[in-house]
Structure 1
């Protein structure tokens, strides 16, 4: 008999697949971005992401990447190392019928970035906490992000910036600090 794993769920809150439920495995290090935080993020970004090329680097549940695709992103690349999470991402992509706009890759984030040749307009960076991922990845960002790219970061603490990108807006939900960053000067808080 095949192993069955308990499932958790998250709802897409806007765009083409609004109200659709995505299922993903229960795992201690999997923290899907809550509805309220995603709603704030996409208010900051604008509701329509038409033409944007997005990278969801630690895809996990896929909440951010699927939300971007639902809101018109022309391409979304999801990178995930966990086989169980990756299988759930693939199942959810089939369920939604996303097709060629979405690419799901099983890889370590640092190795993926080292070989990346594509330029992205929006990076979702929600790595496991307390493992130094943001500090390790910061020097690599300029190599694969477009000049006017935005970065959304979730972390265990407030971050004034990440590499050349400075926090433009930020908030906190429980123990998670979330940030919208762009190249250049800090413009304030949300």
Structure 2
């Protein structure tokens, strides 16, 4: 799996081999960001049930100012952090939260 476009294009991302984690399909990511277009520029993006972090990293690659990744599993959060490091994404641009997505939404 790799970043499709933007600053981090073609950076390879790790994914956890688990039946609980299925990376967002390439075509779905393409469709999402084609729809968002330039609205993603300088946006704050929320990646719930983030899995590998591919969607949020794609948002950063295409110009989002900041992404919050929310994932319940601490093990999966470590994969997201690893993918952020692989792309050279700073902690100022990304925050990885290990918590339930519904609980997170109730807090914001």
Q: Same fold (TM over 0.5)?
A: yes
Aligned counterpart in structure 1 of residue 100 of structure 2, from 69, 86, 108: 108
Gapped regions of structure 2 (runs ≥ 5): none
Please state whether the residue corresponding to 1:51 is helix, strand or coil. coil
Moved over 4 A (4+): none
Q: CA RMSD for the aligned pairs?
A: 1.3
CA distance in 2, matches of 1:101, 1:50: 13
Aligned counterparts, 1:142-153, within 5 A: none
1:28 paired with 2:57, answer no
**Alignment check: 8 A CA contact 2:41 2:63 kept:** yes
Length, aligned pairs only: 107
Higher strand share: 1
Aligned counterpart in structure 1 of residue 45 of structure 2, from 54, 57, 74: 54
Please state whether the residue corresponding to 1:54 is helix, strand or coil. strand
CA distance in 1, matches of 2:73, 2:60: 21
CA distance in 2, matches of 1:83, 1:110: 16
Higher helix share: 2
* Cross-structure match for 2:3: 12
Please state whether the residue corresponding to 2:105 is helix, strand or coil. helix
CA distance in 1, matches of 2:88, 2:95: 12
Q: Which has more radius of gyration?
A: 1
TM-score by length of 1: 0.54
CA distance in 1, matches of 2:16, 2:66: 25
* Cross-structure match for 1:42: 33
